[in-house]
């Protein structure tokens, strides 16, 4: 769990706290900031990746470029924003030649084209480690954040979880990238851009799975002053129990990050499947038969 | 000279080349990208700084935060944009405690307040070196780039150059930060935000001094298909000759970076002083008495 990160983000939110008409959702309150520019609601987000923390050794340069854009697009998707523009900074280390650099950009551009994102700027410098920061700009028509889940909403998830972390652990255990269960989840995760835009038309709250489903739902519950109860019978684990025990599978599903899915609460469903409901109270819980247990506020980043 | 950087930026511009109605000025063409969002022309820019390349050892954390915002505001100023929003990513290394981190943010926030910039987002992670990337968003009414200098324009500069590099060299020669000539130029340079907004109302071309006056003017000359001739008699060097030889002073004025001034070409002057004129031809030249010599396309980043 990145507890220090959460603490520092909270400090930062206080330091940069601002009341201004054009700031709809500010730093630290959601996956991205939402501001008013002219006649549009604009979503701004930034994410930083670096080699030692975020890129498995066997990751191809095209996948590094894909990832740098994908994490930012996922933040926009979490707001239901249509992505428009992207900028990056890249720090190149010794051993990264011009070809490697270009392959990173080709990977970025391939994903950008898919979602009609214009890569309009960048900054290049040189250092000891490969760093890529991304900055994405999008627009929304209807504002959906983590803060408005309503009693009686159902909780929906756009896809299966735990695949990225399972694959990473397989990689660490010595498997080749060809042997792991879900290489695409680990190396070229797909941000749920199209889904996010549709879901934002009806959802009361939404976020993406950055750290874990547990963190995402706890944030929604806390910011919306509600409780969320997951129905254990609705949680699909077959894609994991094929490889690990049932206990481990549930742990991965609830507490692993890196899967780029969206979770939302709504009175209706457009994408995904139901996993629980919003009720009065506090915290996040999982119910299986007669047993109810707390879903803790923790997760692990995927490396 | 950061020749590899320029080459890679050129490659990136080709890879990300895009024709789209909302892209007014794209990657690699100017100090920042200019895009249309709704009814506004929005300026987007990003700059990356890291410890080993950009922060002298004696730099205070507040100054690190100031610098991270200032470089980005200078890019906006180069477009005459009114800055609105800022986001950052920061990588914290071992030895940076919570207090150091907060002091960085306080330095950032102090400068942000001065120019009414809302810091609306950030991303925090952990690594081996202190990295800060910044992303700034602004708006412009009239588009001014490096590309439209006109024959007959005068060339104006908003302030004295060479101060940051002189101070850095003094620091490297063993002086304390209290002893160097222009500590403010080195540690808390002031982006020319107010000046940029005014100048953009009438200038035909404008840019900031990132690498050097020589690089800035060569870019304007090349992109505008004109020649620029500096008048050696109009170039103020007293602030440098107080400390170094006349030759070294001219070298610093023309080829050193880090001073955050703006250079522009226009038929009229709002801020600064005249240093030359725009004529037919190519390249940048300096005339002193009967002697005319070429101002080369080179500069040095300030560390």
Name the residue ranges covered by the structural domains of chain B: 3-140, 154-294
Q: Given an 8 Å threshold on Cβ–Cβ distance, is A120 in contact with B16?
A: yes
What whole-number percentage of chain A has pLDDT above 70?
97
Calculate what percentage of chain B has a pLDDT beyond 70.
97
Inter-helix orientation angle B98-114/B61-78, to 10° = 30
Kindly report, residue by residue over B73-117, the tens digit of the pLDDT: 999 999 999 999 999 999 999 999 999 999 999 999 999 999 999
Q: What is the pLDDT of residue A2?
A: 64
Q: Do A16 and B105 touch (CB under 8 A)?
A: yes
Could you count the other beta carbons within 10 Å of the beta carbon of residue B138? Answer: 30
Question: Count of A–B CB contacts within 8 Å?
Answer: 229
Cβ distance A122 to B27 less than 8 Å, yes or no, reads yes
Distance between CA atoms of residues A110 and A69, nearest Å? 10
Q: What is the mean pLDDT of residues B184-202?
A: 97
Q: Looking at residue A175, what DSSP letter applies?
A: -
A50 chain-B contacts, CB cut-off 8 A: 91, 125, 127, 131
A183 secondary structure, DSSP code: H
B158 pLDDT above the threshold of 90: yes
**B188 and B239 Cβ atoms separated by less than 8 Å:** no
Residue A127 has its nearest CB partner, among B7, B120, B129, at B129
Chain B positions touching A61 (Cβ under 8 A) are: none
Establish whether domains A3-140 and A154-294 are of one fold.
no
- Model confidence at A182, pLDDT cuts 50, 70, 90, reads very high
Residues 6+ apart with CB under 8 A from A248: A240
Mutate to test the interface with B, among A41, A121, A130, A208 (most CBs of B within 10 A): A121
Residue B173's contacts (CB-CB under 8 Å, 6 or more residues apart) are none
Question: Is residue A264 within 8 Å of A277, Cβ to Cβ?
Answer: no
Residues of B whose CB is below 8 A from A106 = 15
Q: Which CATH architecture has domain B154-294?
A: Alpha-Beta Complex (3.90)
Token pair belonging to B24: 């007014």
Can you give the pLDDT at residue B271? 98
Contact list, A37 vs chain B (CB under 8 Å): 37-38, 40, 42, 84, 137, 139
- Is the ipTM above a cut-off of 0.90? yes
Between chains, do B16 and A129 touch, taking CB under 8 Å as contact? no
Is pLDDT at A299 greater than 90 in this prediction? no
pLDDT > 90? residue A217: yes
State pLDDT tens for residues A167-176.
999 999 999 9
Q: What is the mean predicted confidence (pLDDT) over A276-287?
A: 98
pLDDT at B210: 84
CATH tag, B3-140? 3.30.1330.10
Mutation pick from B11, B12, B82, B120 vs chain A, by most beta carbons of A within 10 Å, is B120
Report yes or no: A190 and A209 within 8 Å, Cβ to Cβ: no
Q: What is the pLDDT of residues B227-243, one digit of tens each?
A: 999 999 999 999 999 99
Give the distance from residue B217's alpha carbon to the nearest chain A alpha carbon, in angstroms: 20
- Token digits of residue B50: 């890291």
DSSP helix/strand/coil, A124: strand
Task: Look at B84 and A109 and tell me if their CB atoms are within 8 Å.
Answer: no
pLDDT at B301 over 70: no
In this predicted structure, what is the pLDDT of residue B1?
41
Nearest to B146 by CA among B5, B262, B2, B16: B262
* Interchain proximity B16–A42, CB inside 8 Å: no
Tell me, what's the pLDDT at A282?
Answer: 97
Report residue B235 as tokens: 């170039």
* CA nearest to B50, candidates A50, A105, A32: A50
Q: Is B44 in Cβ contact with A91 (below 8 Å)?
A: no
- Taking the model in full, what pTM does it have? 0.95
Supply the pLDDT for residue A1.
Answer: 40
Is residue B264 within 8 A of residue B195, CB to CB? The reply is: no
Two structure tokens written together for A185: 């989840």
Q: What is the pLDDT of residue A9?
A: 87
Contact B121 A87 (CB under 8 A): no
Length of chain A counted residue by residue: 303
On whether the CB atoms of residues B119 and B172 are closer than 8 A, the answer is no
Chain B residue numbers with beta carbons less than 8 Å from the beta carbon of A18 are: 118-119
Q: If you average pLDDT over residues A136-164, what whole number do you get?
A: 97
**Does residue A273 carry a pLDDT above 90?**
yes
Helix (H, G, I), strand (E, B) or coil at A9: helix
Q: Which helix (H) or strand (E) holds A253?
A: helix A246-255
Contacts of A62 in chain B (CB under 8 A): none
Mean pLDDT for the stretch of residues B38-46: 96
3-state secondary structure labels for all residues of chain B? CCHHHHHHHHHHHHHCCCCCCCEEECCCCCCCEEEEECCEEEEEEEEEEEHHHHCCCCCCHHHHHHHHHHHHHHHHHHCCCEEEEEEEEEEEECCCCHHHHHHHHHHHHHHHHHCCCEEEEEEEEEECCCEEEEEEEEEECCCCCCCCCCCCCEEEECCCCCHHHHHHHHHHCCCCCCCCCCHHHHHCCCCCHHHHHHHCCCCCEEEECCCCHHHHHHHHHHHHCCEEEEEHHHCCCHHHHCCCCHHHHHHHHHHECCCCCEEEEECCCCCCEEEEEEECCCCEEEEECCEEEECCCCCECCC
What are the helix and strand counts (H, E) for chain A? 10, 13
Q: Which of the four pLDDT bands, split at 50, 70 and 90, describes residue B2?
A: low
Q: Is a pLDDT exceeding 60 seen at residue B138?
A: yes
**Inter-residue long-range contacts of B166-174, CB under 8 Å, 24+ positions, other chains counted:** B166/B240, B166/B243, B166/B244, B166/B252, B166/B256, B168/B56, B168/B258, B168/B302, B168/B303, B170/B243, B171/B56, B171/B58
């Amino acid at each position: 769990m990145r507890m220090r990160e959460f603490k520092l983000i909270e400090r930062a939110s206080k330091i940069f706290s601002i009341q201004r008409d054009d700031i709809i959702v500010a730093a630290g309150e959601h996956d991205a900031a939402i501001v008013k520019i002219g006649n549009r609601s604009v979503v701004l987000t930034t994410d930083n990746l670096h080699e030692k923390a975020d890129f498995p050794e066997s990751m191809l340069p095209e996948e590094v470029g894909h990832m740098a854009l994908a994490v930012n697009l996922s933040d926009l998707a979490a707001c239901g924003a249509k992505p428009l523009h992207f900028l990056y900074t890249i720090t190149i280390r010794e051993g990264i030649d011009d070809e490697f650099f270009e392959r990173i950009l080709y990977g970025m551009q391939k994903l950008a084209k898919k979602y009609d994102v214009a890569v309009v700027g960048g900054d290049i410098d040189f250092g000891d480690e490969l760093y890529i920061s991304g900055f994405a700009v999008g627009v929304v028509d209807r504002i959906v954040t983590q803060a408005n889940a309503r009693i009686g909403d159902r909780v929906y998830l756009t896809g299966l979880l735990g695949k990225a972390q399972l694959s990473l652990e397989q990689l660490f255990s010595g498997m080749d990238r060809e042997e792991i269960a879900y290489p695409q989840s680990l190396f070229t995760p797909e941000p749920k851009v199209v889904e996010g835009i549709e879901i934002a038309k009806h959802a009361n709250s939404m976020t993406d799975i950055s750290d874990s489903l547990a963190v995402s739902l706890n944030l929604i519950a806390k910011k919306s002053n509600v409780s969320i109860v997951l129905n254990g019978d609705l949680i699909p684990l077959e894609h994991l129990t094929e490889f690990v025990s049932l206990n481990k599978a549930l742990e991965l599903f609830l507490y692993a990050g890196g899967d780029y899915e969206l979770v939302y609460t709504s009175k209706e469903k457009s994408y995904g499947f139901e996993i629980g409901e919003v009720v009065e109270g506090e915290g996040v819980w999982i119910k299986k038969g007669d047993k109810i247990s707390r879903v803790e506020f923790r997760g692990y980043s995927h490396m």
